[in-house]
Amino acid sequence: MTTTATMSDRATPSVAPPPLNPPERLLMGPGPSNPDPRVLAAMGLNPIGHLDPYFVETMNQTMEALRNVFRTRNHHTVPISATGSAGLETIMMNLLEPGDSAIVCVIGYFGQRLAELARRAGADVRTVEVPPGEVVDPADVEKLFAERPAKLLAFVHAETTTGAYQSIPEMVEVARRYDALVAIDCVTSLGGVPLEIDALGVDAAGSCSQKCIGAPPGLGPITIGPRAMAAARARKHKPSTWYFDLALLFQYWGEDGANRTRAFHHTAPVASIYGFHEALRIILEEGLEARWDRHRTAHDTLVRGLDRLGLSLFPPEANRGPTINVINVPAGVDEAAVRRRLLGMGVEMGGGLGALAGKVWRVGVMGYNAQVPRVERFVGALDEALRAEGYSA
Amino acid sequence: MTTTATMSDRATPSVAPPPLNPPERLLMGPGPSNPDPRVLAAMGLNPIGHLDPYFVETMNQTMEALRNVFRTRNHHTVPISATGSAGLETIMMNLLEPGDSAIVCVIGYFGQRLAELARRAGADVRTVEVPPGEVVDPADVEKLFAERPAKLLAFVHAETTTGAYQSIPEMVEVARRYDALVAIDCVTSLGGVPLEIDALGVDAAGSCSQKCIGAPPGLGPITIGPRAMAAARARKHKPSTWYFDLALLFQYWGEDGANRTRAFHHTAPVASIYGFHEALRIILEEGLEARWDRHRTAHDTLVRGLDRLGLSLFPPEANRGPTINVINVPAGVDEAAVRRRLLGMGVEMGGGLGALAGKVWRVGVMGYNAQVPRVERFVGALDEALRAEGYSA
């Protein structure tokens, strides 16, 4: 014992944050879902320079694998170096400019976001809106086209807030009749349900890395078809974004044909691309059809489980899809308390967003988590949490 | 032996790319540099939801740690969910709008990029340009302010293409006299050299994750001071970018004071934030002053080594800094052949960009690589590569 000041008395308190020790979670919310462990392992591979010949080859392989996942031969197919919303911003900022007109279908929050992106790109935007759970009738889109032309029709394939799927072929047909481009948000569908960009005739599509693709959030995979690229090239003015300017991006990722020289643009997120490459590799090893079947099987398991618990799905049956499942909160149940309890058990599900806040839960059956044992665990845990909160079927 | 078709004859050829197996590299180019292995390990920690209470706390810790690294109390300090250039686009797109005027100093390629970002934001841009290696005389900036006012003065702190450092205090002084905001690109300086945002009076600064911070590329750390936030809030029109809109970003990351509710914006790149959090933690454990000293010591080791090899630095001594070292290619040496040979030995250095292409090499002494043994290996390998290409000092 001493009264002399010790080192620790005088030491500056450390300003460093504590080490991370995130809990283990089964991520059954609307995203992110758990990546395949192979994807996380790939992200820790040897870091290399973004202009290294090995990385340039990795970029080429990633583009080609992503084309196969989108079922497209579009050269202009890349993961944007930002998250899924940024991929959609890239599409809107390049395909639209002030003076252009766009029609946007709004079946939920993410349709509203598409409309907002189009407005910020300077376009005159008309929307077709329907109540939550419903989808747009192509005839209502046709009416707007008949009133006056639009350069672009945009809509969300799987609306993450309502669980409703908008069927694509009829929308493309209408847009084609009026010579408009078609852009889709397939954030919650790509890799989990049948989606074939070229066969459908979709001109531009944007998804994300962290749902059915099975990588962490951080990349915005997009594909841009020849008609859309021609429209981007025919712009009167450069887009106001430099970071998402397709012309600059493909000077970096490489243009098609002879011109394969790469000009520096930004520095690609090397570790994220490693993980994304591995995620695409896993998809193509499994095969898209097998993967779609697996999502359907896992979804069916979920639906049977919910049925046993006396829970119902929010959207009408005709509008449902396997990847995002929006569940009605039963009367008298504290929905936030159930989610908190479930999280305490290591299982995440999502609450409602926007108009459906407090009224629904959102359950993703996506990517690595679209496996029967994982869904069974989810249903079992939900059952426990519901009973603990006083609910019985 | 049989003539019957076997399975393999009929199997569809796999479209999956081969597994990644990137080579081990010492990354001594202008970036990315090798992350600390602890950072890569952190990226593989348990994935969690981006609205999980644990992740919200991780976001808060990341903001606070980043403030400490920027030496600022600016609440509005975050890693943008995209690469370093996107952080600078965020600053320009929010602080400038059509009708605004900006003065941008151009001492190399990255100054030109700042000017381009400002132009795309719709501003009337005037530049002060100097030949490569030189820096701008604040008196020349003052002349432009005296001609007519500008809302913003922007410049690059450490110009990655020429190796020249622009001194900050004199520039801030000029801008303050004309009541203009000051925005800096500190992509190649933050974490490697003394840089104290609040003490300097800088209003907005953007850096990257993959240089002196020591994480992989993928995030754009920015800090926005109160004057700059006030200017962003006083805009006449929303910025054309939704993804980089500061108002929306801070509804998600959280505003200061009472309003800590978080509204969904995009999905944060969880794994990248884990790695970035760990990189900041390493910096603050080491202490900024100790880290600056380490960069200086490693740089001095490099300079002594280059001197022994008879190589000289491109920028005048007064303009040099420790992190980015631009070296004159000696007469008669095939610079690309030297870089290729070095890469074959597992060591990356950069070539010249823009006006200096073919004339210089660029060597980064940054982050985890700013260690004497790593610099010694670099110098030894460069010596070998130069001799193999027929050069002798």
pLDDT in tens, A22-46: 999 999 999 999 999 999 999 999 9
Calculate the average pLDDT of chain B. Answer: 95
Mutation target to probe the A interface, by most A beta carbons within 10 A, among B222, B238, B242, B342 is B242
Burial of B304 (0-12, 13-18, 19+ CB in 10 A): exposed
The arrangement of strands across the sheet holding B324-328 comes to B324-328, B360-364, B350-351
Q: Please give the residue of chain A at the shortest CA–CA distance from B275.
A: A20
- Does residue A3 register a pLDDT over 70? no
Complex ipTM more than 0.85, yes or no: yes
Contacts of A277 in chain B (CB under 8 A): 17, 20
Distance, in angstroms, between B139 CA and closest chain A CA? Answer: 30
Q: Is A133 left (phi over 0), alpha (psi -120 to 50) or beta?
A: left
> pLDDT tens digit string along A288-326?
999 999 999 999 999 999 999 999 999 999 999 999 999
Domain B37-285 CATH (choose: 3.40.47.10, 3.20.20.60, 3.40.640.10, 3.40.190.10): 3.40.640.10
* DSSP notation for A68-109: HHHT---SEEEEESB-HHHHHHHHHHHH--TT-EEEEEESSH
Contacts of B54 in chain A (CB under 8 A): 22-23
> pLDDT tens digit string along A130-179?
999 999 999 999 999 999 999 999 999 999 999 999 999 999 999 999 99
**pLDDT (average), residues A227-248:** 98
- At B390 the three-state DSSP class reads coil
Closest Cα to residue B157, out of B227, B101, B117, B208?
Answer: B208
Is A65:A219 a contact under the CB 8 Å cutoff? no
Q: Which of A17, A25, A62 sits opposite B277 (nearest CB)?
A: A17
Q: Which residues contact A118 (CB under 8 A, 6 or more apart)?
A: A92, A96, A102, A104, A125, A152, A154
**pLDDT (average), residues B380-390:** 97
Amino acid code (one letter) for B252: Y
Q: Which of A31, A266, A348 sits opposite B52 (nearest CB)?
A: A348
- Does residue B2 register a pLDDT over 70? no
Mutation target to probe the B interface, by most B beta carbons within 10 A, among A12, A14, A15 is A15
Closest Cα to residue B265, out of B235, B285, B245?
Answer: B245
8 Å CB contact of A49 and B29: yes
8 Å CB contact of A281 and B44: no
- The pLDDT assigned to B208 comes to 98
**pLDDT (average), residues B216-242:** 98
- The pLDDT assigned to B259 comes to 53
pLDDT class for B4, splitting at 50, 70, 90?
very low
pLDDT class for A1, splitting at 50, 70, 90?
very low
Q: Where are the domains of chain B?
A: 26-33+288-388, 37-285
pLDDT class for B13, splitting at 50, 70, 90?
low
Q: Which of B16, B53, B269 sits opposite A83 (nearest CB)?
A: B269
Interface A-B: count of C-beta contacts within 8 A: 259
Residue B325's DSSP bridge partners are: B363
Mutation target to probe the A interface, by most A beta carbons within 10 A, among B14, B20, B245, B356 is B20
- The pLDDT assigned to A256 comes to 79
Q: Which CATH architecture has domain B26-33+288-388?
A: Alpha-Beta Complex (3.90)
Q: Is A321 left (phi over 0), alpha (psi -120 to 50) or beta?
A: beta
8 Å CB contact of A121 and B240: yes
pLDDT class for A234, splitting at 50, 70, 90?
very high
Q: Give percent above pLDDT 70 in chain A.
A: 95
> pLDDT tens digit string along A258-284?
556 778 899 999 999 999 999 999 999
Q: Which residues contact B303 (CB under 8 A, 6 or more apart)?
A: B313, B325
**Spatial separation of the C-alpha atoms in residues B352 and B365, rounded to whole Å:** 16
> pLDDT tens digit string along B49-80?
999 999 999 999 999 999 999 999 999 999 99
- Does residue A4 register a pLDDT over 60? no
pTM above 0.90, yes or no: yes
- The pLDDT assigned to A316 comes to 98
8 Å CB contact of B20 and A239: no
Contacts of A89 in chain B (CB under 8 A): 241-243
Sign of the dihedral defined by the CA atoms of residues B95, B99, B102, B108, in that order: positive
Q: Give percent above pLDDT 90 in chain A.
A: 93
pLDDT class for B3, splitting at 50, 70, 90?
very low
pLDDT class for B262, splitting at 50, 70, 90?
confident
Q: Which of B18, B25, B45 sits opposite A46 (nearest CB)?
A: B25
Q: Which of B49, B84, B272 sits opposite A267 (nearest CB)?
A: B84
